[in-house]
A and B are shown apart, each in its own frame.
Chain A
């Protein structure tokens, strides 16, 4: 730790980190564009300038040097004294902001970034009120640079964050700076669009409205959005994300800083992977089937119906003929409630976990050029395991004891007719019921299926319960590294549906409202090892 002085205030921070970062994290609001903690230092926007005390060349006495220093490029060392609150610094900030706005089209009313734009914020805080430029602006074109991204170059502040991202994090290097002087602009190479699995991040780190997400374009003003902390269910990496929503609809997902998992990034598959939650084909009502007759009971009746049907069944056949198949898309808390219920009505019930979807190979970033060995310093990994909570479910199965089966073993035994009653949880965003699994539908006297979409199993089930998407639920997921992380509920389920946690809570015999936290407390009494969750630290909004 080093002690430094900023604007007469003492601050303790890590030796070697940029003064800018130390100041931002301690709550200073210092304008900056080119600096991003996840990228190399460019020190080219010249907006974070500060004064620094240095020994006088002749007298060796410490005094303010007649020079400005970029705070992003100045490392913290013990005894350093700097200031941002001097007139010189303020004048430099003000003139720099004037320069930034010279060629800017000032089209905030039609810009998606408006409301979360550093140019707007800084101009307001550090700039001057009106433009003194009367000459025509340099106009640079709007460009379509890839499948997901638009580039409005006339709004660019040339911070080169995006260029550095594609080189240093994605490793694909599609973006570059062309031309000189005020004509310079960000561009792609001819015939090489911005197209890599991490590209969405360039939109996040662009401090202005230059890089835009086609998916979000003109959909919603950002100040109408509410952000909810969540975890991406796209793969077992489990990136921390923010779900931006309004009027009970999700508009976009953004990565949330998490030093233990994803730093500042997330992949495109995760980012754009929420569309299934808005699919009209989702199951939204509970359903009871007796022979050909289908009815839709109210949610109030569901706990009793389910409980009686299982109890009846156990009485009629036997408790070891019951099985529950959990899903790696369930929150640990939800799975715990289901296990608790099943083992209560049928203490000998078998437990299993549904198939773990795997696609391709893990992808590490920065990716190496074709044919080259992989890069030594991995900054981000997209895992081949395309579900969020295999580890959480496995841990639960382990501590639950009793008969625990692999999905293959379950399928085999079920096909032979070993089970008479089953509760099968789906919740997969993509169709998951393979041919062999589909055949199992007819093998049970009592089948409860909890799923998002209709399939061969729901068609065969006596009771169908709608599963909700993760943005409508709360709980925790354990990622591939074994880190348990909580996610919050962003929106309500579609009309008619109920959160899985809530009905499982009631079915398991608890009263009141479900919440991940509440269930973790209940779990703590039984299985303390499963209840510790890691929450990424919040950082000041302006510190990235």
Chain B
């Protein structure tokens, strides 16, 4: 985030004056395989949610391919996540430079930036930067005066969460209904327009200029070995300084909330009750679990799915956990694309149960029913086509498991006859 906050950071002039496009020049002077090797060595793990090593992903591309396409995943629609937005809004040229490096390394001829539809300003900022880059010869027929040609387009989404899933994104880019594809074939073999395709997140690509400029060793020197390099973290909720902060991945959730140069502690009079540390889909932490490290491995020790988008949203003690449950369930209920039975029906069932619990008509057995539904949606990999289904089960499961006493107390305190009355009225 070195350029964020600098005057005129979105312009080519300022970007160049601060060392911009030097890395791209360096990369283009290298052999493409050498660039891939360097990124592999840096162990750059994907910042889009799954944490898959970028260099390894590029290595899946067939050796004898003639065309390759690069998709930049700028759909950023995981709730409380806005790291990509900051990068595009304040440092668009860094993303373009990263895109050039990735495209060169994968021998891509075209890069499509799939941008979340709600990003209006960011679209204009990025489009202007792309225009500048074309003008200056960083994009186009002769990138940096070499024989390498790269076209770059922005495609704007229409507001579906599932279009951030890489194959949903590809379908949507092709003009189809945005729903994830079955794999195999994986995108690296047959992706966009049936061509070998690489999908990478905005932040992943934004790391590339730094890796090329300062070397893989510099990158792996930051943070723990399995979670190398700087990472952006979002903090939101009732904290003093909600925002996006850069740090190594050895930081804990507590530090993120409390450090003066980050969240700056809770608003006065509020206490932490729960934290979703990786976007909604990874699950929830209680106030006793704030020492979790924000890296790619530690969340597993807290029954979470993973690091996710590293966007922590804090829930304070004034918030009814039933409301949280309802909000979470509603999100997945409306965002499931609906092709897989377990996800389509499971998310919608959980939504209806959560809604009823929130309205004060919960039944004790609803809690087990929620857990079992979650298990039936994700008891084993392979139950659904994409990760949305798992992403829906983790938060529900962890809320019910970790906040069960509070939920039970709330249900117990409902006036007698409430459940029957509500069910009768509804059915």
Q: Which of the residues A47, A68, A157, A179 comes within 8 Å of B382, measured between beta carbons?
A: A68
Nearest-Cβ distance from residue A103 to partner chain B, whole angstroms: 7
Which residues of chain B are within 8 angstroms of A179 by Cβ–Cβ distance?
Answer: 338
Of A127-135, A321-329, A332-340, the one contacting chain B is A127-135
Provide the bound-state CA to CA distance between A138 and B427, in Å. Answer: 11
Binding-face segment, B27-35, B289-297, B343-351? B343-351
Chain B residues 382 to 426 lying within 8 A of chain A, measured CB to CB, are 382-385, 423, 426
Is the pair B177, A99 in contact by a Cβ cutoff of 8 Å? no
Q: B376–A99 contact, CB under 8 A?
A: yes
A-B contact count (CB 8 A): 116
- Cβ of B263 within 8 Å of any chain A Cβ, yes or no, is no
A135 and B352: CB pair below 8 A? yes
Given the interface pairs A160-B339, A181-B347, the reply to whether A135 lies near B356 with Cβ below 8 Å is yes
B423 and A134 within 8 A (CB): yes
Residue in A closest to B382 when the chains form the complex, CB atoms: A68
- Residue B160 lies at the interface, judged by CB distance under 8 Å to chain A: yes
- When each residue 229-264 of chain B gets 1 if its CB lies under 8 Å from chain A and 0 otherwise, what string results? 000000000000000000000000000000000000
Nearest B residue to A43, CB-CB: B182
Whether the Cβ atoms of A73 and B345 lie closer than 8 Å is no
Q: Which residues on the B side are within 8 Å of A184 (C-beta)?
A: 337-338, 344
Q: How large is the interface on B (under 10, 10 to 19, 20 to 34, 35 or more residues)?
A: 35 or more
Residues A92-106 near B (CB distance < 8 A): 92, 95-96, 98-100, 102-103
Query: Known contacts being A43-B182, A67-B382, A134-B423, is A182 close to B339, with CB within 8 Å?
Result: no
Instruction: Find chain A residues with CB under 8 A from B356 CB.
Output: 135
Considering only CB atoms, which chain A residue lies closest to B355 in the complex?
A135
Any chain B CB within 8 A of the CB of A356?
A: no
Q: Is the C-beta of B381 less than 8 angstroms from some C-beta in chain A?
A: yes
Tell me the complex Cα distance, A176–B356, Å. 32
Set A42, A132, A160, A182: member contacting B333, Cβ < 8 A: A182
User: Which of A45, A88, A134, A176 sits near B341, CB closer than 8 Å?
Assistant: A45
Q: How far, in whole Å, are A509 and B310 apart by their CA atoms in the complex?
A: 92
Would you call A44 an interface residue if the criterion is a C-beta within 8 Å of the partner chain's C-beta atoms?
Answer: yes
Q: Does any Cβ of B come within 8 Å of A91's Cβ?
A: yes
Instruction: Find out whether the CB atom of A42 lies under 8 angstroms from the CB atom of B182.
Output: yes
Residues in A whose Cβ lies below 8 Å from that of B335 = 180-181
Asked if B426 and A136 make an inter-chain contact with CB atoms under 8 angstroms apart, the answer reads yes
Q: With contacts A136-B352, A180-B336 known, is A66 near B345, CB below 8 A?
A: no
What is the interface size of chain A, counting residues whose CB is below 8 A from a CB of the partner?
41
Whether A66 contacts B337 by the Cβ 8 Å rule is no
Chain B, residues 307-351, CB within 8 Å of chain A (1/0): the string is 000000000000000000000000001111111111011111100
A41 CB within 8 Å of chain B: yes
Q: Which residues of B contact A136 (CB under 8 A)?
A: 352, 426-427
Q: Does A30 contact B (CB under 8 A)?
A: no
Provide the A42-60 mask, 1 if CB < 8 A to any CB of B, else 0: 1111110100000000000
B385-A43 in contact (CB<8A): yes
Contact of A92 among B352, B369, B383, B385 (CB under 8 A): B383
Q: Which of B349-394 contact A (CB under 8 A)?
A: 349, 352-353, 356, 363, 369, 376, 379-385
Bound state CA distance, A70 and B381, in angstroms?
Answer: 11
Residues of the A chain whose Cβ atoms lie less than 8 Å from the Cβ of B341 = 44-47, 96, 99-100, 157-158
Contact between A95 and B376 (Cβ–Cβ < 8 Å)? yes
Residue interface mask A169-196, B partner, CB < 8 A = 1: 0000000110111111000000000000
Q: How far is the CA of A96 from the CA of B340 in the complex (A)?
A: 10
Taking Cβ atoms with an 8 Å cutoff, the residues of A that contact B are 41-47, 49, 66-70, 73, 88, 91-92, 95-96, 98-100, 102-103, 132-136, 138, 157-158, 160, 176-177, 179-184
- Provide a sorted-by-A list of 10 A–B residue pairs whose CB atoms are within 8 angstroms: A43-B385, A67-B381, A92-B383, A99-B346, A100-B345, A132-B369, A135-B423, A158-B341, A177-B338, A183-B338
